């Protein structure tokens, strides 16, 4: 079942751009367009992480000023944790997709069990969450902050779920509410509070990118997926407000955010040296890339990369959003030529090829549409009828916020409502 108790309707606008939605009424998309956008999202994700990879953590508290290769060989994407960790959760959902509950059949415990059994190296909230699972601490406690005397996951504010949430947005076309519900279910395996809200924010933006061709509207609508009192919300609102007043200077926006939040945002960093792994801080850099890139995927990825810190993950998320918005056909030919050389390459630590990843995303998207009051016009996935409409009609969904505000370091110890409602 969907976690409907977690969310309530958001009614507040943060800027003039979000007063109008990109459409009214139900959303219709052809099968070919749906596939084009899903492929575009995965290609944008792959290109972003490969472009930013050589710069990761080489600019901390400063901008990256070195060369950025915008057309790398994308074979490196098959060994990137930004993608193969996602496939752990994808496989857990796919294993139960035929059950009556479909996309909601896999429980938080199912995702936790799959994560516990994974064999790859992990860091930050992912590592702490998996360590907890292996100690017998079940989700959501595996990801939650529970106070200084009972702190299950000291990295709960970190970027981890934000990095690996793209698959949810890509299976929820124009369905931000469904994306938020699924994001909460998986994200609490390893994160809490702003660490979970980052996944809600990014997956919501990807979901909206199927229906909206304006990144400014996507950002301004997606911010409403987070509680307004959360630091993540306030950080992104600051980026939006600064951009509204200074729409042509991404470096000035970066300086404003860096000056305001570098020292005050809480994460599990113990290394010093201006290193910041918090979801909200890095989410600001995703947003800078999106707003100042203005729909140009090369500029978007370059700006998100130059903002530094986790500068492969941030352009990867930004690339997934704009790649979905534009669709595969409109992405750079060099990227398409590169990825199409490897249709049967398996991602590290998985049994999924690139082709499997696309096909499973399409199957989950169709299931999600039908489970969310949408309908199919034409035969099911994998079939095309020349005499049928061959399209999906997707039911309009509001963007909703979690009912409970979670904030690392400030919540009751423990929080019984959090545990009860999330289960």
Q: Who's near 389: CB < 8 A, 6+ residues apart?
A: 377, 378
CA-based nearest residue to 212, from 24, 393, 16, 1? 24
Looking at residue 18, what is its pLDDT?
A: 33
Separation of alpha carbons 319 and 47, rounded Å: 7
Q: Who's near 362: CB < 8 A, 6+ residues apart?
A: 34, 35, 38, 381
Q: Please spell the DSSP secondary structure of 73-137, one letter per residue.
A: -GGGGGG-HHHHHHHHHHHHHHTTTTSTTGGG-S-HHHHHHHHHH--S---HHHHHHHHHHHTT-
Helix (H, G, I), strand (E, B) or coil at 172: coil
Looking at residue 409, what is its pLDDT?
A: 77
Looking at CATH, the fold of the domain delimited by 4-422 is given as ADP-ribosylglycohydrolase fold (1.10.4080)
Long-range contacts of 327-332 (CB under 8 A, 24+ apart): 327/33, 327/36, 327/37, 327/39, 327/40, 328/36, 328/37, 328/39, 328/40, 328/43, 329/36, 329/40, 330/40, 331/40, 331/43, 331/44, 331/47, 331/297, 332/47, 332/70, 332/71, 332/297, 332/298
Looking at residue 79, what is its pLDDT?
A: 98
Looking at residue 243, what is its pLDDT?
A: 98
Separation of alpha carbons 284 and 351, rounded Å: 34
Residue 3 Cα to chain centre, angstroms = 18
- DSSP-assigned letter for residue 347: P
Separation of alpha carbons 151 and 129, rounded Å: 12
Kindly report the number of other CB atoms within 10 A of residue 144's CB atom.
30
Kindly report the number of other CB atoms within 10 A of residue 211's CB atom.
21
CA angle, 372 then 190 then 201, to 5°: 50
Q: Please state the domain extents for the chain.
A: 4-422
Kindly report the number of other CB atoms within 10 A of residue 101's CB atom.
13
CA-based nearest residue to 261, from 61, 15, 42? 61
Looking at residue 149, what is its pLDDT?
A: 65
Q: Token pair of 203, please?
A: 């997956």
Looking at residue 423, what is its pLDDT?
A: 39
Separation of alpha carbons 73 and 333, rounded Å: 12
Inter-residue contact 399 to 177 (CB < 8 Å): yes
Q: Token pair of 264, please?
A: 């005050």
Cβ-based burial of 131 (10 A; exposed 0-12, middle 13-18, buried ≥19):
middle
Inter-residue contact 393 to 375 (CB < 8 Å): yes
Looking at residue 120, what is its pLDDT?
A: 98
Looking at residue 388, what is its pLDDT?
A: 67
Q: Token pair of 1, please?
A: 């079942």
CA-based nearest residue to 281, from 305, 307, 317, 302? 307
pTM (2 decimals)? Answer: 0.92
The DSSP H or E segment spanning 250 is helix 250-261
What are the pLDDT tens digits along the chain (423 aa)?
333 333 222 322 223 233 345 666 799 999 999 999 999 999 999 999 999 999 999 999 999 999 999 999 999 999 999 999 999 999 999 999 999 999 999 999 999 999 999 999 999 999 999 999 999 999 999 998 876 666 789 999 999 999 999 999 999 999 999 999 999 999 999 999 999 999 999 999 999 999 999 999 999 999 999 999 999 999 999 999 999 999 999 999 999 999 999 998 988 876 678 999 999 999 999 999 999 999 999 999 999 999 999 999 999 999 999 999 999 999 999 999 999 999 999 999 999 999 999 999 999 999 999 999 999 887 766 666 676 678 999 998 999 999 889 998 777 555 544 544 443
């Amino acid at each position: 079942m969907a976690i409907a108790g977690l969310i309530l309707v958001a009614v507040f606008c943060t800027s003039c751009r979000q007063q109008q939605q990109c459409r009214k009424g139900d959303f219709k998309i052809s099968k070919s367009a749906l596939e084009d956008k899903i492929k575009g999202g995965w290609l944008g994700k792959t290109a972003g992480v490969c472009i930013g990879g050589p710069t990761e953590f080489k600019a901390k508290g400063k901008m990256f000023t070195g060369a950025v290769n915008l057309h790398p060989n994308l074979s490196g994407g098959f060994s990137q944790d930004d993608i193969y960790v996602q496939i752990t959760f994808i496989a857990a959902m796919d294993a139960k997709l035929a059950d009556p509950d479909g996309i909601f059949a896999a429980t938080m415990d199912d995702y936790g069990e799959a994560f516990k059994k994974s064999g790859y190296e992990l860091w930050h909230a992912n590592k702490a969450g998996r360590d907890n699972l292996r100690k017998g601490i079940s989700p959501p406690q595996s990801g939650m902050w529970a106070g200084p005397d009972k702190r299950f996951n000291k990295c709960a504010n970190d970027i981890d779920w934000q990095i690996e949430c793209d698959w949810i947005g890509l299976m929820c076309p124009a369905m931000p509410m469904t994306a938020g519900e699924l994001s909460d279910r998986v994200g609490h395996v390893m994160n809490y509070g702003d660490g979970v809200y980052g996944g809600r924010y990014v997956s919501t933006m990807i979901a909206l990118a199927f229906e909206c061709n304006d990144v400014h509207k996507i950002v301004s609508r997606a911010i409403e997926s987070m509680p307004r009192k959360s630091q993540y919300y306030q950080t992104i609102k600051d980026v939006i407000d600064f951009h509204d007043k200074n729409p042509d200077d991404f470096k000035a926006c970066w300086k404003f955010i860096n000056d305001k939040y570098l020292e005050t945002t809480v994460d599990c960093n113990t290394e010093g040296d201006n290193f910041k792994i918090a979801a909200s801080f890095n989410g600001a850099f995703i947003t800078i890339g999106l707003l100042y890139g203005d729909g140009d995927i090369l500029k978007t990825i370059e700006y998100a990369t130059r903002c530094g810190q986790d500068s492969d993950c941030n352009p990867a998320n930004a690339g997934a959003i704009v790649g979905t918005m534009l669709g595969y056909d409109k992405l750079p030919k060099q990227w398409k030529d590169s990825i199409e050389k490897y249709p049967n390459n398996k991602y590290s630590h998985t049994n999924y090829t690139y082709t499997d990843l696309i096909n499973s995303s399409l199957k989950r998207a169709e299931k999600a549409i039908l489970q969310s009051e949408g309908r199919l016009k034409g035969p099911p996935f994998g079939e095309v009828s020349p005499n049928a409409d061959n399209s999906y009609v997707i039911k309009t969904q509001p963007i909703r916020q979690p009912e409970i505000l979670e904030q690392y370091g400030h919540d009751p110890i423990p929080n019984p409502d959090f545990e009860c409602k999330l289960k």
